[in-house]
Homo-oligomer: A and B are copies of this chain.
Amino acid sequence: MVIKPSLTERQNQVYEFLRSYIRDHQKPPTMAEIGNALSIRSTNAVFKFVVALEKKGYLTRTPRVSRGIALTQAGDQLSFTRPPPLLPIIRAARSDQPEQLRHHPTGALHVDARLLGPTDADVCLVTVAGDDGMSEQGIRMGDFLIVEETNQEQLFSGELVAAVIGERIMARSFDFSRNRLHLQPSARGYAAESFPPDSPGCHIIGRVLGVMRKL
A interface, CB within 8 angstroms of B: 1-2, 22-23, 25-28, 30, 66-67, 70, 76-77, 79-84, 86, 104, 106-112, 114-115, 117, 135, 138-140, 143, 160, 208-215
Contact = CB atoms under 8 A, between A and B. Distances in A.
Given A212-B211, A214-B115, A214-B117, A110 B84 contact: yes
A112 B111 contact: yes
Given A23-B83, A81-B26, A138-B143, A112 B109 contact: yes
A2 B106 contact: yes
Which 4 pairs from chain A and chain B are nearest by CB?
Answer: A66-B66, A27-B27, A84-B110, A138-B140
Contacts of A210: 212-215
B67 A79 contact: no
A211 B104 CA distance: 26
A168 B87 CA distance: 33
A118 B83 CA distance: 21
Given A76-B107, A212-B211, A213-B211, A82 B1 contact: no
A197 to B, nearest CB: 25
Nearest to A211: B213
Contacts of A107: 76, 79
A114 B23 contact: no
Nearest to A24: B82
Contacts of A209: 214-215
